[in-house]
Structure 1
Amino acid sequence: MRLNYLRILAFALGGLSTVIAAGALYLYATFDGLRLATELSQFVRQRYQRVLRIDGPVELSMFPWPALRLPATSLSSRNSTGEFMAVEQASVGVRLLPLLARRVVVDQLELDGLRLALLRDKNGRLNADDLLAATDKDAEPITSPLEMDLGALHIHHSALTWTDEAAGRQLALSDLSLESGQLGRNAEGRLALTARLTRAAPTTDLQLEIQTAYRLDEHTWPQRLRQLHATARGDVDGRQGLVGEIAATEILSTEDQPMQVQGGSLQARLKTSAGTLELKGSSPRLQLDPHGPQAEQLDGSLNLAGSPHSGKLQLRLSGLTASAKGLEAQQLEADIELRTPALQLTGTLAGPLRWPTGSPGPELPTLLGRLDLTPAGPEARPRHIDTEASLQLDPARGSATGGLSLRMDGSHLRGKWSVASSASPTLGFDLDVDHLDLATLSSQKPAAKPRSNTAEAAGSPLDLTSLLGLDLEGTLRVDQLKAAGLHLEKLRLPLRVRDGRLVSTGHSMSLYGGSLEGSLSIDAASRQMAYRSYLQGASLGPLLRDLNGTETLTGTTNFFMDVSSAGSTRDALLDALHGVARLRIRNSTVPGIDLSQAFREWRNQIGTRQGARRGFHDKESTAIGELTASFQVDKGIATSTDLLAKGGTLKVTGEGQVDLARQSIDYLSHVTLLAVPAGIDTSLRGTTVPIRIKGPAGRPDWHLEAGTGLPAAAAAASRKVVRQSSRITPAKAVDKPGNKAQPVPAPAAGNTE
């Protein structure tokens, strides 16, 4: 009995196959491609008021499966206002049985050379709204010769453009390729898309790739995406080498429920002038409702890997909720780690987060914590900084602003900061500090370097790497500052660093009873530096003592300089220095020599026109009233021809050079006695004696010039003094071996010994 049933079934299937094959042969023999193209064109014109143009007949292929082959085809915009869509060629896989009834049910679709132009006008209307709109129930039904029930979709070598006239935006997808499985009611499959995204403003050139598994419900709503992975690589708004990745284990979406994202993560890498910037974020479970995202926990990190700067910012967000009032999070905790050639900064800040409705971005009203600042150096120790900060983000503009309050070692810094988006983010600041000692930042036990290390430090390369990769601009004000041994007050330092170039224009300060205004520029790449400043009314003695440990000159000084140089070491900079300088000192005192005493000692040499040398005496000095001089600086040599000092009993003119790199002086001065001190013949009044100042700039020797440089009147007067002195001075005292000249017993005026 069963065998009979099987035989009957086999005969029935065989007969059905024969009928289908015969129908297929009949269909192939009687297929009219021109008629089908005409019907499709008429349907599109009647239903959508668009023009469908098919450049040739539609062909039918039966092997390996039934398919319609379309030649070049185009579809106009509504009411024939330009091209909406076009395709170079298409293959439409169709089902056989509906085709016998002259209905086209699409099973597979393959498009090559697709061009699609989407546009949203200024009123917000999309040029595809009529194609996407549901059919009016009251309208007369229009029988469509085409039905879609896709089992597969293949798109190759295609392009899509999007124009938003309302927002003034335009972008294009080119080299578009898409492969999908079944598309339709209750369909499942995998989708893969690759394309190149370009945009004029901001300049964008990205290579996109998306892969995911999907499931569609009966209303074709994307109910589930699984194992989603999307990447983007290219350049955006001048930022080169951008790599972005988004992944999710599962995304659930329905019409009446918020979207759920399980195992979501994102990652982005960007090359900047400071190094490679990497952003990461993840959440075990994220819900996206109409008010915004909600999550129990969100983790993120921002890493900068570069040289000489590197850093890491680790973020943990907990208790994120969304409502009509905006977003709120119970706690945001940030772990900070920043490394530069000059310092290391680590610490933790924490505080609540909120994003009120209508605000441009999230706000962190109060971030509290402690940071540890460790300067570079083997003896440096961490400095603890009690920190209070605030933050306001504006994602649309790519900017951030905030406030800052830092307390460290009794110093208090407060002010505002900002970050503006560009090819390299720009840090802005406006800060005030009550007092600051830079020595406390650099070492646990600050101490002066021994002299043996001075030459080594002068020849060591200057480290300007801290300027590379920085982009900042702002103003720093310090009420009291101690730096390099100097005590400064009311410092105002405008500062700009960009592309490895530091510029400070219009900085000012008070120091040692005077004031200074100036401008500075440093280029890290070319090692070029320029400085221009004017110091006036400063007390020179204390300034030099705090700077160098010795008072080379004293008095109230005005000093102008405009110099520039280039070099990789301090000595190289000084050797290449050129520019101009002017000096004026009132109530000046020159240490190291008492000229009245020197004249007494040199009376024999003056009389015989012989040279003499006198060393630097720590306990001697000479008051010279007011001193002025101007300098031309070339290759590190400061040359002056107009030295003038006048006051008290002396008038001094002169010319000479100062070697800045070697810190030596060679100056020929012409000293005129306006009043003759006790012990010197009055006939020397008004005469000029040449004295050369030569040796280390801080402790030079004093040389009486020999020969014709000594005036005859001065020599004759000195011989007279010698003869008078020989009558009252024992010969032994005068001719004592080892003494070139013996002073007279009378004390010299102004002698400090």
Structure 2
Amino acid sequence: MPVWLRRSLIALAVLLGLAVAAAAYLVASFDPNRYKGLLIDWMREHKARTLAIDGPIGLSVFPRLEVTLRDVKLSEHRRPDEFAALQEATLAVQVMPLLKQRLAVDRVSARGVRVNYRRDADGRRNIDDLLSPATDAKDAPAANASSQALAFDISAIEFKDLQATVKDVPLGLDGRFVVKELRTGRLADGAESPIRFVGQAALAQPKLNADVELTGQLKLSLPAGAPASVALRDLALSLRGDGFDVKQLDARLAGTLAYDGPSGALQADKLRLTLSGERLGVALKDSTVALDALRLDPPKRALRLDALDVKLTGQRGEDSVAAQLAWPKLEVTGDTLNGSALKGSASLQGGPAVGKLQMDFESQAPSGRFERIRVPGLRLAVQGSGAGRSVNGEVRSDLTLAPQPLAAALDALQLKLAFTDPALPPVNLALQGQAQAGAQDASWRFDGAINDQKFTAGGRADLSKPVPYVDAQARFAALDLTRFVAPSTGPKPPPAGAKPGADSPVDLGGLKALDGRFSFRAGTLVYPPYSVADAALEATLAGGVLRVSDLSGRAWGGRFAAQASAQAAADPAAQRIGLKLDATDVDIAALLTDVAQFRKLEGKGRVTADVTTQGASVQRLKQALDGKAAFQLRDGAVRGINLAKTLRQWRSAVTLNKDAVQASSAEEKTDFSEISASFDIADGVARSKDLSGKSPFLRVGGEGLVDIGRGRVDYLAKATVTGTAEGQGGADLALLKGVTVPVQLVGPFEAVDYKVQWSAVSADLLSGAARGALGDRAKGALGGLLGGSAAPSAAASGASAPSVKEQARDKAKEKAKDELKKLFGR
């Protein structure tokens, strides 16, 4: 062996020995756990977060650099709440490739990882501080303009038990994602690797609770300084659970997908989506969407679609549902377009009670260019019959599609529809207009007539937010709902003595489905028993709160204006409703009859109310009613009792000294020139202390309560005779002038009893309240009977002898007895 070679080998051996010895010493002497404090301090000082490393840090240097972490926790920025935590994570990196600007990772594994991610409506994320440079610039490495990004090469990834809690307001995501298992082979630029993913999504928004599984061959393209590209071959994706308003969802997607990052091009081959699930009572089974090929390349203005075929089959009870759509070919390159017409159909086949419904769909061949693909001559024919009902209609329009950004428009839209039902008036609808929709928004504008009643409608929708925003308006010159819907007979009161039925639930949860602003106008609005002129409605909906700022019109001979609100809540028992009403010059009898089938009060005047309530059912809403209400009426009447007729019987009633109870009679009423009352309402009970009624011969006051929740009244009215009323009592009533007659109203709304307290009238007479009614002739006699001083006093007459005083008293008593006998007809 040459000397130089032997010496070279010896030198190399010495160098290798020194390197091995140095590595051994480094591994033996270096303790990474000594640097825990530095990491914790750096995180606190530069990121304002608390880092806790409760487990040991493992480190090996050769033949690969491997770091292992255990039991690590990281707080939120400037808050003690947990942002992330992990039980164990390992990163193994090959050392030698780092010298060649290559990141060669042998293995990445993690177990028991928890992450909380948040993004607010303004786009601020709870990871922004982690992605920003360190606050101390001197700690950052100096930038090297000539440096190049490390080449990316990972031998394998293995994740288990990863959990991410996400609340992303702009995307409308709120819930939890769980990665049960994620395994890949080698991930490198241009390399194809198997991938397996098993996870679960439990979202409150959008509502989704499903298991997810994905397998396939993953290929990444990672060009330096450009967006990444990804391709999935032999894709098998499944989603099973409840979500997207579909129960028992089972969706499976197979095929090949590819996305080119630099150009934004999308490619799909042999895609097949199989669907099963239940929505709106329709159970879909083995429904498919198939597509042979799709190419979308916006920079090249190119679009290609081959053999789109949609087939849906389902069952709704005993009724079968089917639909299909076919678009054999569409190819667009710049301003050149070739393609075939669309064709499709949908059908409903049911029993005798449902009948049959058939819809056929077709179009002419498309034309246009990449930016504007026009599908003219779109036609949908509808025909159906069953159980005496029939429907016939047709929709015509021109469809315009825009691939980038994705949008669609219906131009020259015309709709004609005729519907008949034995229980309803015939309905004929005709409208024309246009509609547009994109990924972020939609708009529409229609003019038409329903049973010759003309209307205009329009609006727009913002679909970019988690909760869609809708701004809609409708205008009718006249809208008579009896011309196409069954007329309402209004609420029917239960029969007397009937037990209350089951309570009806009230759920305002639907108010959370969208936000918006709504406007409605009608010159006349008729829906018996209601008839309103100049009807107007203005309302807004936001965050589950409906606010009606204007609900007004002319009705019941007067005018009304109201504001209302309804607020949904996570707990239905906490949902709230409010109403403010001011009705002027209204016929109270007509109003109460239409709204509540209540026929006890008549008159014309003003009605006001300001009430709120909360609850999850009609009965609970009644029982929780709070607020105030009042009415002031003129030329009115209270039905159920005729006080004039009742008071004419006062002679015999007072003589018997017994209260009389009479049932409410629809034929009887007491007239008033004016009547008013106000109510304080709390917990469903309205209390009043200021009843005031006036007529030519009566003044009525009173107080009591109306239990709205239980549907009962307990009210004490006090009627005082003020003068003679011809035809309502005549001279008999004149004798009761100044007498107060209490009348107790007691019982359920539908069967109120009137208790005339004649015993109180007798006491009133005997106490002297009736002296004015008896006149001067009876006054002295009654005073003597009660032991009063009706004759001149002894001091005034100058008589001082007891015998004279006793004689005058005896004479007065005898005279009083005679007068009372005449008064009571005895």
TM range (shorter): 0.5 to 0.7
Q: Which residue of 2 aligns with 1:473?
A: 516
Match of 1:486 among 497, 507, 530: 530
Residue 460 of structure 1 aligns to a residue whose secondary structure is: coil
Residue 594 of structure 2 aligns to a residue whose secondary structure is: helix
Match of 1:286 among 284, 288, 294: 294
Q: Which residue of 1 aligns with 2:410?
A: 364
Give, as a single letter, the amino acid of the residue that structure 2 aligns with 1:675: G
Change over 3 Å in CA distance of 1:412–1:269 after alignment to 2: farther
Say whether residues 1:352 and 2:398 are aligned partners. Answer: yes
Q: Which residue of 1 aligns with 2:502?
A: 460
Give, as a single letter, the amino acid of the residue that structure 2 aligns with 1:112: R
Change over 3 Å in CA distance of 1:543–1:214 after alignment to 2: closer
* 1:559–1:582 contact (8 Å) kept in structure 2: yes
User: How far 1:688 moved relative to its partner?
Assistant: 3.7
Change over 3 Å in CA distance of 1:282–1:370 after alignment to 2: farther
Give, as a single letter, the amino acid of the residue that structure 2 aligns with 1:293: L
Q: Distance in 1 between matches of 2:381 and 2:197?
A: 37
* 2:415–2:431 contact (8 Å) kept in structure 1: yes
The count of aligned residue pairs is: 575
Q: Distance in 2 between matches of 1:244 and 1:458?
A: 47
User: How far 1:511 moved relative to its partner?
Assistant: 1.9
Change over 3 Å in CA distance of 1:303–1:381 after alignment to 2: farther
Say whether residues 1:211 and 2:216 are aligned partners. Answer: yes
Q: Distance in 1 between matches of 2:459 and 2:412?
A: 14
Match of 1:71 among 59, 64, 71: 64
Q: Distance in 1 between matches of 2:590 and 2:284?
A: 48
Say whether residues 1:626 and 2:674 are aligned partners. Answer: yes
* 2:721–2:736 contact (8 Å) kept in structure 1: yes
Q: Which residue of 1 aligns with 2:4?
A: none
* 1:536–1:557 contact (8 Å) kept in structure 2: yes
Name structure 1 gaps, 5 residues minimum. 1-27, 39-54, 57-68, 75-85, 94-103, 122-126, 134-147, 159-168, 197-201, 306-310, 337-344, 724-742, 745-753
Residue 573 of structure 1 aligns to a residue whose secondary structure is: helix
Residue 644 of structure 2 aligns to a residue whose secondary structure is: helix
Say whether residues 1:90 and 2:90 are aligned partners. Answer: no
Counterparts of residues 242-261 of structure 1 (less than 5 Å):
247-248=254-255, 261=268
User: How far 1:412 moved relative to its partner?
Assistant: 5.0
* 1:313–1:334 contact (8 Å) kept in structure 2: no
Q: Distance in 2 between matches of 1:590 and 1:111?
A: 93
Give, as a single letter, the amino acid of the residue that structure 1 aligns with 2:533: E
Q: Distance in 2 between matches of 1:374 and 1:676?
A: 63
Give, as a single letter, the amino acid of the residue that structure 2 aligns with 1:577: L
Say whether residues 1:179 and 2:185 are aligned partners. Answer: yes
User: How far 1:625 moved relative to its partner?
Assistant: 1.9
User: How far 1:438 moved relative to its partner?
Assistant: 6.0
Match of 1:515 among 560, 564, 573: 560
User: How far 1:280 moved relative to its partner?
Assistant: 8.5
Q: Which residue of 1 aligns with 2:782?
A: none
Q: Percent identity?
A: 19
Q: Which residue of 1 aligns with 2:137?
A: none
Say whether residues 1:227 and 2:234 are aligned partners. Answer: yes
Counterparts of residues 320-469 of structure 1 (less than 5 Å):
320=330, 322=332, 323=334, 326-330=371-375, 351-355=397-401, 361-369=407-415, 386=430, 388=432, 390-395=434-439, 398-404=440-446, 407-411=449-453, 414-436=457-479, 459-465=501-507, 467-468=509-510
* 2:637–2:671 contact (8 Å) kept in structure 1: yes
Give, as a single letter, the amino acid of the residue that structure 1 aligns with 2:294: L
Change over 3 Å in CA distance of 1:359–1:224 after alignment to 2: closer
The superposition leaves residues 159-188 of structure 1 with CA deviations (integer Å, 9 ceiling, x where unpaired) of: xxxxxxxxxx9xxxx99864369998xx9x
User: How far 1:642 moved relative to its partner?
Assistant: 0.7
User: How far 1:641 moved relative to its partner?
Assistant: 0.9
Q: Distance in 1 between matches of 2:402 and 2:611?
A: 54
Q: Distance in 2 between matches of 1:505 and 1:515?
A: 13
Q: What is the TM-score with the length of structure 1 in the denominator? A: 0.57
Q: Distance in 2 between matches of 1:508 and 1:702?
A: 37
Q: Distance in 1 between matches of 2:535 and 2:541?
A: 19
The superposition leaves residues 550-572 of structure 1 with CA deviations (integer Å, 9 ceiling, x where unpaired) of: 64222223222233334454344
The superposition leaves residues 239-275 of structure 1 with CA deviations (integer Å, 9 ceiling, x where unpaired) of: xx9999764358799x99x986432356899999x99
Give, as a single letter, the amino acid of the residue that structure 1 aligns with 2:589: G
* 1:461–1:568 contact (8 Å) kept in structure 2: no
Residue 670 of structure 1 aligns to a residue whose secondary structure is: strand
Q: Distance in 2 between matches of 1:614 and 1:231?
A: 75
Residue 600 of structure 2 aligns to a residue whose secondary structure is: coil
Q: Which residue of 2 aligns with 1:154?
A: 155
Q: Distance in 1 between matches of 2:146 and 2:197?
A: 26
Change over 3 Å in CA distance of 1:707–1:677 after alignment to 2: same
Counterparts of residues 291-310 of structure 1 (less than 5 Å):
291-295=301-305, 298=308
User: How far 1:640 moved relative to its partner?
Assistant: 0.9
The superposition leaves residues 196-221 of structure 1 with CA deviations (integer Å, 9 ceiling, x where unpaired) of: 9xxxxx99x999956238899xxxx9
Give, as a single letter, the amino acid of the residue that structure 1 aligns with 2:303: P
Residue 563 of structure 2 aligns to a residue whose secondary structure is: strand
Name structure 2 gaps, 5 residues minimum. 1-8, 20-25, 28-61, 68-89, 110-130, 134-143, 160-170, 172-178, 200-204, 222-227, 316-320, 336-368, 383-390, 779-823
Residue 227 of structure 1 aligns to a residue whose secondary structure is: strand
The superposition leaves residues 21-50 of structure 1 with CA deviations (integer Å, 9 ceiling, x where unpaired) of: xxxxxxx99999999xx9xxxxxxxxxxxx
Change over 3 Å in CA distance of 1:210–1:697 after alignment to 2: closer
Residue 679 of structure 2 aligns to a residue whose secondary structure is: strand
The superposition leaves residues 304-339 of structure 1 with CA deviations (integer Å, 9 ceiling, x where unpaired) of: 99xxxxx99987768756445513141678999xxx
User: How far 1:639 moved relative to its partner?
Assistant: 1.6
User: How far 1:585 moved relative to its partner?
Assistant: 1.3
* 1:475–1:492 contact (8 Å) kept in structure 2: no
Change over 3 Å in CA distance of 1:563–1:361 after alignment to 2: same
Q: Which residue of 1 aligns with 2:700?
A: 652
Say whether residues 1:669 and 2:717 are aligned partners. Answer: yes
Counterparts of residues 587-736 of structure 1 (less than 5 Å):
587-606=635-654, 611-678=659-726, 679-680=730-731, 684=735, 687-695=738-746, 696-697=748-749, 700-709=752-761, 711-712=764-765, 715=770
Change over 3 Å in CA distance of 1:260–1:470 after alignment to 2: closer
Change over 3 Å in CA distance of 1:283–1:473 after alignment to 2: same
Q: Distance in 2 between matches of 1:457 and 1:423?
A: 46
Say whether residues 1:112 and 2:85 are aligned partners. Answer: no
Higher relative contact order (CA 8 A, sep 6+): 1
Q: Distance in 2 between matches of 1:230 and 1:604?
A: 93
Residue 631 of structure 2 aligns to a residue whose secondary structure is: strand
